[in-house]
Structure 1
């Protein structure tokens, strides 16, 4: 299992945000036993900062029965309720308010966490105190897939985008409740391999984007070096999208991350590399196009990167004329060791 402090680093880089010194000190000093407590802590502190800065104001349309005209008069409900003889009307008008889908989602998610026994009592008390800081105009929105899609469509960035990712991870950690009145129950998302595989991939790619300047970092789509009788037949070939491509004038590295419990698989009592992973990387290397302006001496390399769990390995091959490395990284060591190991992968062979 990834230690809680390292999990904070992983989430920050995965969501393209550098860890903050003040937050690191708080996370290091807190005795979090479950990832949910970390998420609750980070969400509370980030929301508090957002509230301190002031929620952005926006115009939202309100519909209300009023004793004076304001905005647009809605004739149908006004006539149906026979309001005109009483000097009243149903009006639709724009109002400047701090209420927004993101603010409502943050309030709703914190309400869910404030009732969960998986969150330490003292942290639940702090969350309840933090909820009282929300403006009265901000109505809590339920933590659902629909609400998350609604907020995602607004493309929040910076701290707001980071907090949206935290809310989504809380949602993905939620277990089905026996009834709506029961407090939400949560699972340890570190056991969700597909989810952790995506986070691990994003973590590695964004770490290299933020922590080194030698290589240009991207995720690229590689076209098959293939021919077919018709364009329709070519279109049926599966897409090849790299996890991380690192390119400099002298070198290009295709780095593929795999979040598996072990980098080796036993077959007839003999340990072997996982063949689909190696075939995939080999296909990426063999189908790399030579750009017209590309230097002829650029070295093309491949790396398969696994988190170290059952066994640590570091294997080097030459496949199809290209250097290939299959290596694990220990996510259970202090963060400084993880950062040094990742940067060390880029060193010359």
Structure 2
């Protein structure tokens, strides 16, 4: 199980944000027993910064009965209520204020956290105090998948995007509490291999983007070196998209991350590498077209759990490694191991 402090680093890099030294010092001085406590701390710290800078404002449409015309007159409700004879009309107008979709979602997330019993009473109180600092006219949005998707489509940058990622992960770990109306219980997402696989992949890719300058880092689509009698048949081939490609003039590394409990699995009375993982990476290498003078190699990277591994092969003329990284060690060791992997 990844320690909470290391989980903080994984999330920061996965969301393309360098870890904050101040937050790290607070983490070292605190004891978090559940990932939800960590996420709440990160949400509180980020929201405080946002409030200090001033909540982002946006235009929201209002609909109201008015004695003076403003914006657009909505004829259907105006006529159905017989308002014209009263010198009134229903108008729709845009008003600049804090009721943006993001601000409303943030407030809704804080309200859910302020009620859950999965946080200590002191932390819930801290959440409620921060929620009370929002403008009174700001209406919290329901904490639902629909609201999250609507805000996701806005492609928010910077601090807002980072806070949205936290809200999204909190939602993905939330389950309705059938015993208590209006409350939510949360599960430990470190046990969710599918969710953690995505976090681990983005963590590794963004770590290399932010922490080294030798390689250009990207996720790329590799074209099949294939021919077909009918050109349209080529479109039926599955996509080949790398998790992480690191490229310099003289070297290209295709690094595939696999969030599995072990790099080896039992096969009869022996341990074996996981065949589909090896086949996938080999297919990437076979269909890649390196530049002149560029060495092409592959790496399969697993988090260390049951077994540690550092295996070297040459397959089809390509150097290939199968490596595990210990995510339970102190963070400086993790960073050093990742940099050493591509040195």
- TM-score, normalised on structure 2? 0.97
* Aligned counterpart, 1:128: 128
CA distance in 2, matches of 1:327, 1:42: 31
1:338 maps to: 334
Aligned to 1:328: 324
Distance 2:276 2:94 in 1: 57
Alpha-carbon deviation of 1:49? 1.1
* Superposed counterparts of 1:6-45, under 5 Å: 6-45=6-45
Could you tell me which residue of structure 1 aligns to residue 185 of structure 2? 185
CA apart distance, 1:286: 0.7
| Matching of residues 205-216 of structure 1 within 5 Å | 205-216=205-216
Q: Partner of 2:310 in structure 1? A: 314
How far the C-alpha of 1:176 sits from its partner, in A, is 3.5
The CA deviation string for residues 259-313 of structure 1, in whole angstroms up to 9 with x for no partner, is 00011000112000000000101111111124xxx22x21111100000011111
Distance 1:62 1:179, change over 3 A: farther
User: 1:159 is paired with a residue of what secondary structure?
Assistant: helix
Q: Which moved more, 1:177-186 or 1:212-221?
A: 177-186
SS in 2 for 1:344: helix
Residue-by-residue CA offset, 1:65-100 (whole Å, 9 max, x unaligned)? 123222222222122212223332211111111110
How far the C-alpha of 1:142 sits from its partner, in A, is 1.3
Aligned to 1:130, the other structure's residue is in SS state helix
1:158 deviates by: 0.6
What is the total number of aligned residue pairs between the two structures? 343
| Structure 1 residue matching 2:246: 3-state secondary structure | strand
Is 1:146 matched with 2:146? yes
CA distance in 1, matches of 2:72, 2:216: 54
Structure 2 counterparts to residues 1-150 of structure 1, below 5 A: 1-150=1-150
* Corresponding residue number in structure 2 for 1:305: 301
Q: For residue 203 of structure 1, what is the aligned residue in structure 2?
A: 203
Per the alignment, in what secondary structure is the counterpart of residue 224 of structure 1? Answer: coil
Unaligned runs of 5+ in 1: none
Q: Deviations over 1:102-146 (max 9, x none)?
A: 000000011001111111211111000000111122211112111
Partner of 1:288: 288
Q: Encode CA deviations 1:24-64: one digit per residue, 9 max, x unaligned.
A: 11122111100001111111111121111111222221100
Distance, in Å, in 2 between the alignment partners of 1:192 and 1:232 is 38
Inter-partner Cα distance in structure 1 for 2:264 and 2:72: 68
Does the CA contact (< 8 Å) of 2:63 and 2:90 recur in 1?
yes
Q: Secondary structure of 1:303's match?
A: strand
Distance 1:320 1:201 in 2: 26
Q: What are the ranges of 5 or more consecutive residues in structure 2 without an aligned counterpart?
A: none
1:182-207 deviation line (CA, Å, top 9, x unaligned): 41011000011010000000000000
Q: CA RMSD in A?
A: 1.2
Contact 2:312 2:320 in 1 (8 A): yes
Shift of 1:180: 8.0
Q: Report the Cα distance in structure 2 between the residues aligned to 1:79 and 1:22, rounded to whole angstroms.
A: 59
Q: d(CA) in 2 for partners of 1:179 and 1:140? A: 24
Whole-Å separation in 2 of the counterparts to 1:145 and 1:281: 34
